[in-house]
Chains A and B, each alone.
Chain A
Amino acid sequence: SQQGEEDPQALSIQEGENATMNCSYKTSINNLQWYRQNSGRGLVHLILIRSNEREKHSGRLRVTLDTSKKSSSLLITASRAADTASYFCATTQGAQKLVFGQGTRLTINP
């Protein structure tokens, strides 16, 4: 079963704008990760934030985590055409497996 829900399900913006995607989850977590997927195939790991962290940066990516609200957000600044992809959040809940949301389809228009 899916753990989280991404919001929005689809997002279309102009190149250069910032893109924000949100993820909500239901149970306590150890960490939360964001992945990118191009063309419905392999997932690329973007960033991991631990349950005791509130914010993390990696290049143009900024992730926040609010464990009291069971939510996370992924911000991509200065978007590029190559950022067009689906983005998934995934949580680890004590066990080894990742539990994914349904993803946000991001389209960057040139």
Chain B
Amino acid sequence: GAGVSQTPSNKVTEKGKYVELRCDPISGHTALYWYRQSLGQGPEFLIYFQGTGAADDSGLPNDRFFAVRPEGSVSTLKIQRTERGDSAVYLCASSSEGGLSTQYFGPGTRLTVL
């Protein structure tokens, strides 16, 4: 019955480093989403998984960003060669079916790139 969890809650890294952010969706939810939220803005869509496959990755800003969900449950967002502009809160959400069903959000990971 737990909600969506994300680890770590905070991540500080140096410019140029590689980071991985993890999301554990609600058990049984087939759809998983990643969003990014900059300070003072609303969340912006990055990528959507239905099961193991990325059904829509149109929001990924460039090829430094990549996400996987190998077993259809946990997902990892990977950012290579981080830049200061990548600093933001990265939010994960899951829903029971995708489509128009409600998305439930995790607490987010605050990424700071120095």
Contact = CB atoms under 8 A, between A and B. Distances in A.
Interface of A: 1-2, 30-31, 33, 35, 40-45, 48, 88, 90, 92, 95-103
Contacts of A98: 33, 35, 43, 45, 93, 103
Given A42-B106, A44-B105, A100 B100 contact: no
B100 A97 contact: no
B105 A42 contact: yes
A98 B48 CA distance: 10
A23 to B, nearest CB: 11
B91 A100 contact: no
Nearest to A100: B42
B33 to A, nearest CB: 7
Contact of B102 (A30, A42, A48): A48
B104 interface: yes
Contacts of B40: 102
Contacts of A1: 44
Contacts of B100: 30-31, 92
B107 A42 contact: yes
Given A33-B102, A41-B108, A42-B107, A88 B91 contact: no
B62 interface: no
B42 A96 contact: no
Most buried by A among B42, B100, B106: B42
Nearest to B46: A97
A30 B56 CA distance: 18
B42 A97 contact: no
B31 A96 contact: yes
A2 B41 contact: yes
Interface in B41-96: 41-45, 48, 50, 55-56, 59, 89, 91, 93
